A and B are shown apart, each in its own frame.
Chain A
Amino acid sequence: KQEVTQIPAALSVPEGENLVLNCSFTDSAIYNLQWFRQDPGKGLTSLLLIQSSQREQTSGRLNASLDKSSGRSTLYIAASQPGDSATYLCAVGIYGNNRLAFGKGNQVVVIP
């Protein structure tokens, strides 16, 4: 069974610092990896999608890397802002049953 772990579970950083969020998964047989943002009581907003053949994706201040062989992905958020405060979820697409396996999330607070 695919297990997805996100470390740290929660973190606080001062505004302007770079954020580094880690995601690890136990089975490298994935077809893609998605990073989502979730605000309290809200749905999921897709941030970045990395296909299994790719090593990284970038969108504005966000950059996500994927190392399938080691079962790891990292989300970098440059120059954090208070508006970046949210929970960030990592999800991997599992071959065979077409489902996403999610981690529990990284809860981020950016302090003004």
Chain B
Amino acid sequence: EDQVTQSPEALRLQEGESSSLNCSYTVSGLRGLFWYRQDPGKGPEFLFTLYSAGEEKEKERLKATLTKKESFLHITAPKPEDSATYLCAVQDFGNEKLTFGTGTRLTIIP
């Protein structure tokens, strides 16, 4: 069974203080790993898809990387508007569903 574990559960950073969020996964065959952002009271919003180890994707202050066992979401010089819960999900080959982690709640303090 696919498993996704995200750490830490919560992270508080000062504005401008860079850090990384972790997503560890277990699948029989990775078809894709996905990062979503979720603001309070809203549905998740798609950020990135990663398909193979070594792949990297960037968007503004966010960079996602992938290894065979985990993915990192690096946030560089964050701003208060980056505060949100970040969700990681995986899709296994031959599986028409996503398995989500429980998320990391990120708070950026001005």
A binds B: no
